Amino acid sequence: MNDMFFRSWPPSGPSGPGGWVARLLGLLLWALLALLGLAFALGLLLWLAVMTVASLVAALFTGRPAAVTLLWRRYREMTRQHWPQRPAASATPRADAAGATGASQPAGVQDVAWREVPAPPTDASDGAGSGRR
């Protein structure tokens, strides 16, 4: 093995009299972050449940279908249509690509009228005189 000095950085673990304190603080910080994440996830699930129940109760009073029901119907329609539909694989992919892009269409020649484009006005202060920069 190579005994280079940077192999020991960062230290493998705290040592000395303050080592157990550092480990305890690290464990407490990890537990605090885990609890915050758990509280966030539970709050989201609780809000989802409350809003679903509120939507279903509102549907009873208004007679209109609940938002959850509408979303489920749209999802079912989408899955029944097998969206997105992919075309069947072809033996001639280059010809298919040319047909899809319009490259296989004959390009007709189109005549356009001639028009004169005026030159931009020259600035006399630049000293060039030709108008090019």
> Is residue 7's pLDDT more than 80?
no
Is 30's pLDDT higher than 90? yes
Site of tokens 């539909």: 85
Distance of CA 59 to the CA centre of its chain: 33
| Rounded distance between C-alpha atoms, residue 83 and residue 98, angstroms | 24
- What is the value of pTM for the model shown? 0.41
Q: d(Cα 133, Cα 128) in Å, to the nearest integer?
A: 8
> Taking 80 as the threshold, does the pLDDT of residue 82 lie above it?
no
- Cα(74)–Cα(67) distance, integer angstroms: 11
pLDDT score at 129: 54
Secondary structure letter of residue 83 according to DSSP: S
